[in-house]
Amino acid sequence: MAVRAAVLPAIGSPLEITGIDLPDPGPGQVRVRLAAAGVCHSDLSLSDGTMRVPVPAVLGHEGAGTVVAVGEGVGHVSPGDGVVLNWAPSCGACHACSLGEVWLCANALSGAADVYARTTEGTDLHPGLNVAAFAEETVVSASCVLPVPDGVPLTDAALLGCAVLTGYGAVHHSARVRAGETVAVFGVGGVGLSALQAARIAGASKIVAVDVSAEKEELARAAGATDYVVASDTTAREIRGLTGKQGVDVAVECAGRAVSIRAAWDSTRRGGRTTVVGIGGKDQQVTFNALEIFHWGRTLSGCVYGNSDPAQDLPVLAEHIRAGRLDLSALVTERISLDGIPAAFENMLAGKGGRALVVF
């Protein structure tokens, strides 16, 4: 049956909204009718070649919907169930999984190279980051779906698939923010807004939001920021001025740009922690000298998917949502149709807004 989808025909090409033909789910597969899909900066990075993806492909990796049909051997979900798409399922058998570091699973993206559908003209299509959520329906491995927790609206649940798991996990799993600590979050997009809420939930005493756009201050403060800094050459100095000249205990960088990674590092106090969540290109070179690494005693760490285990973390996030501590709707600055995705990409390039949500 043909459905509409946003297809990336080649790296660097504009997305094309067109019809695709989906097969029935095979053994171990699930067909999902999408309720909503978030437009993430990683989708933009896939489209421009910053991250590699087999093409042509249907992008979109942050989504939720309703199970339409299941293939042989699928038992944990049934038709009619609401599910969150998990774009990075762990295999449970590789070295990282054996260490409990499922977010580093060596086989998490093995399905992205498969042909999962075809255009109505017969061209093979790959599922961008496994799940191909920029489509009215998709067919995925059963390992890529998790039941939507009770009390979480299906449309809002799409955000759990990437932005919230990543931002929350960066604060709680990677940076391990403790009550009373000071935090700076660089980049006020969907992930950054999630990190701001997570810092508030953790009990941070001061939360500084940093972004190139002054227009995002209201969004940031609604998410939990106590202070707002418009990014400039003096960002680190301004943040030290807000923290008794010490710098923050934790800086979380969500933009993936060399200049903001360096600013996050410079904004962190001696002995503090800098966590990099943003995905930058290979041309984004960050330099440090040997003496400053010794002198400042800071920890610089990468963070993949919030160092999260979705199966373990979704119930925790759901409890925060039900208790009113985590507001998913506050992350969404625009609700769009499938046809609005190209414009949402342009807004991300221009640094506008938080999370655009495709509502089907």
Tell me the pLDDT tens digit for each residue of 272-300.
999 999 998 889 999 999 999 999 999 99
Low-confidence ranges of the chain (pLDDT < 70): 1
Give the pLDDT score at 160: 96
Distance CA 265, CA 250 (A): 9
Locate CATH 3.90.180.10 in the chain.
Answer: 2-161+327-359
pLDDT in tens, 177-221: 999 999 999 999 999 999 999 999 999 999 999 999 999 999 999
Distance CA 38, CA 335 (A): 9
Locate CATH 3.40.50.720 in the chain.
Answer: 164-304
Kindly state the DSSP code that residue 103 receives in the 8-state scheme: G
Give the pLDDT score at 51: 86
Give the pLDDT score at 288: 95
* Domain spanning 2-161+327-359, CATH architecture: Alpha-Beta Complex (3.90)
**Other Cβ atoms closer than 10 A to 225:** 29
In the three-class reduction of DSSP (H, G, I as helix; E, B as strand; rest coil), residue 32 is classed as strand
pLDDT in tens, 343-359: 999 988 888 878 999 99
164-304 adopts what CATH topology? Rossmann fold (3.40.50)
Which of 221, 248, 164 lies closest to 198 in space, CA to CA?
164
Q: Are strands 117-119 and 137-141 parallel, antiparallel or unpaired?
A: unpaired
Give the pLDDT score at 349: 86
